[in-house]
A = this chain, B = another copy of it.
Amino acid sequence: MNITEYMEQVGRQARAASRAMARADGATRNRALGLIADAIERDAAVLRAANQLDLDAARAAGMAPAMLDRLALSEQAIATMVAGLRQIVSLPDPIGEISNMKSRPSGIQVGQMRVPLGVIGIIYEARPNVTVDAAGLCIKSGNATILRGGSEAIHCNRALAALVKEGLAGAGLPADGVQVVDTTDRAAVGALITMPQYVDVIVPRGGKGLIARLMAEATVPMIKHLDGICHVYIDAKADLQKALDIAYNAKCHRYGTCNTMETLLVARAIAPTVLPALAKRYLTQQVELRADAEAHAILEGYPHLARATEEDWATEYLAPILAVRVVDGIDAAMEHINTWSSKHTEAIVTEDYSDALRFLREVDSASVMVNASTRFADGFEYGLGAEIGISNDKLHARGPVGLEGLTSLKYVVFGHGEVRK
């Protein structure tokens, strides 16, 4: 069987299984999740042995230490997977809820029922824990899933897939409710993202390179974000202490995350006060500051100072580097943001009521904040219970995506024999 035929078969099986997954009640789906957690706990040693095969092969192939680290499935990582599954069990069932039920003049009653999307494709890189995390969220939301992990993790992913299928079968659900693509051939990804007849949405989990590649080719819709070029704007009316705390936390809490601040905008009136105080904080972490002319003059003498070019406004550093620009005020700040932002997350620090409301209303990003660190843009911090990904798109799901993002609303009509006049 060639790759196209194989993926066609995987797709057909997923579509068929999706009906049984959607029909299953919440208790059955939870039972499957519990059985998978038990099986992973029981077979921890088997999983670590499979992971060792992947690690040996990756080391032999010269994989970089950072990547090896992501590939490793430690005892701790296994315990976290198990705990994650049990936490998903405890979340409310997203499926079947009927909302907005109204009686219409014709006599019919109309509402919207929350239902699974159908088949979710997940494409990810080295981390084998995604296999279980993603499968768990898709099972909980009544979807069938096709998982395509990195080729480096194939042994571990196979072993995990066997346990997932065992759990599904134990709860009376179809084993094809979750399928792991069992080939390291890259053509499998190309097939998966171009089968809209079998796959309803693709969720890529991985770096920018992966996502850019998929975007160029996919005909199946994706829930994805490419860049996180997030801004903090310190308004002239900012509380100085809040400004220092937020601008420091948004940059230095973690450098590699998509909700980390990459550009700081400061109102001219407060810049001579706030920038030197902030520089003292950044110096403790050796943060490099790339400043426009005005900020550069104020920051003169800071040991890691450089001049910003336009390229800096468009760069997601994911590193202890920060672009800094002095602006006239809120209008110039919003103009900069609407021009350069990747529409992920932006925050204003201000005590001015009208500026706060204007920023919330007029900044066109997935998350917009007043007096809080951009690092809060996260499914758990927002109370979604779990996060399958973050979306920079405006259609369907926007911002952190929880279980609801894996569902759809269909109209349901309760009639009593009504006909259209």
A contact face: mostly helix, strand, loop, or mixed: mixed
Copies per assembly: 2
CA distance A394 to B371 in the complex (A): 36
Is A420 in contact with B373, judged by CB distance below 8 angstroms? yes
Q: How far is the CB of A201 from chain B (nearest CB, A)?
A: 6
Is A411 in contact with B394, judged by CB distance below 8 angstroms? no
Which residues on B sit within 8 Å (CB–CB) of A365?
410
Partner-binding segment picked from A154-162, A205-213, A245-253, A309-317 = A245-253
Is B411 in contact with A368, judged by CB distance below 8 angstroms? yes
Q: Per-residue CB proximity of A103-124 to B under 8 Å, as 1/0?
A: 0101010100101011000000
Counting CB contacts under 8 A, is A80 at the interface?
Answer: no
Is A370 in contact with B415, judged by CB distance below 8 angstroms? yes
A410 partner, pick from B23, B347, B366, B381, beta carbons under 8 A:
B366
A417 partner, pick from B118, B245, B381, beta carbons under 8 A:
B245
Is A110 in contact with B382, judged by CB distance below 8 angstroms? yes
CA distance A364 to B113 in the complex (A): 11
Which residues on B sit within 8 Å (CB–CB) of A360?
113, 412
Counting CB contacts under 8 A, is A266 at the interface?
Answer: no
Counting CB contacts under 8 A, is A102 at the interface?
Answer: yes
Is A416 in contact with B361, judged by CB distance below 8 angstroms? no
Which residues on B sit within 8 Å (CB–CB) of A336?
none
Counting CB contacts under 8 A, is A29 at the interface?
Answer: no
CB closest residue in chain B, given A417: B242
Which residues on B sit within 8 Å (CB–CB) of A420?
249, 253, 373, 375-376, 381
Counting CB contacts under 8 A, is A419 at the interface?
Answer: yes
Given A373-B418, A396-B395, A104 contacting B368 (CB threshold 8 A): no
Q: Per-residue CB proximity of A351-363 to B under 8 Å, as 1/0?
A: 0000000001110
CA distance A23 to B334 in the complex (A): 12
Is B418 in contact with A376, judged by CB distance below 8 angstroms? yes
A347, A360, A399 — which one has the most chain B CB atoms within 10 A of its CB?
A360
Counting CB contacts under 8 A, is A377 at the interface?
Answer: yes
Q: Per-residue CB proximity of A379-416 to B under 8 Å, as 1/0?
A: 00111000000000011101110000000111111111
Which residues on B sit within 8 Å (CB–CB) of A382?
104, 110, 411
CB closest residue in chain B, given A362: B23
Counting CB contacts under 8 A, is A367 at the interface?
Answer: yes
CA distance A60 to B104 in the complex (A): 47
CB closest residue in chain B, given A239: B417
Counting CB contacts under 8 A, is A172 at the interface?
Answer: no
CB closest residue in chain B, given A369: B413
CA distance A351 to B73 in the complex (A): 55
Is A241 in contact with B417, judged by CB distance below 8 angstroms? yes
Which residues on B sit within 8 Å (CB–CB) of A110?
381-383
Counting CB contacts under 8 A, is A19 at the interface?
Answer: yes
Which residues of A line the B interface, CB within 8 A?
19, 22-23, 96, 102, 104, 106, 108, 110, 113, 115, 117-118, 200-201, 221, 239, 241-242, 245-246, 248-250, 253, 338, 347, 360-362, 364-373, 375-377, 381-383, 394-396, 398-400, 408-420
Instruction: Sample 7 A-B pairs with CB under 8 A, ordered by A number.
Output: A364-B410, A366-B410, A366-B411, A370-B413, A372-B415, A372-B418, A400-B411
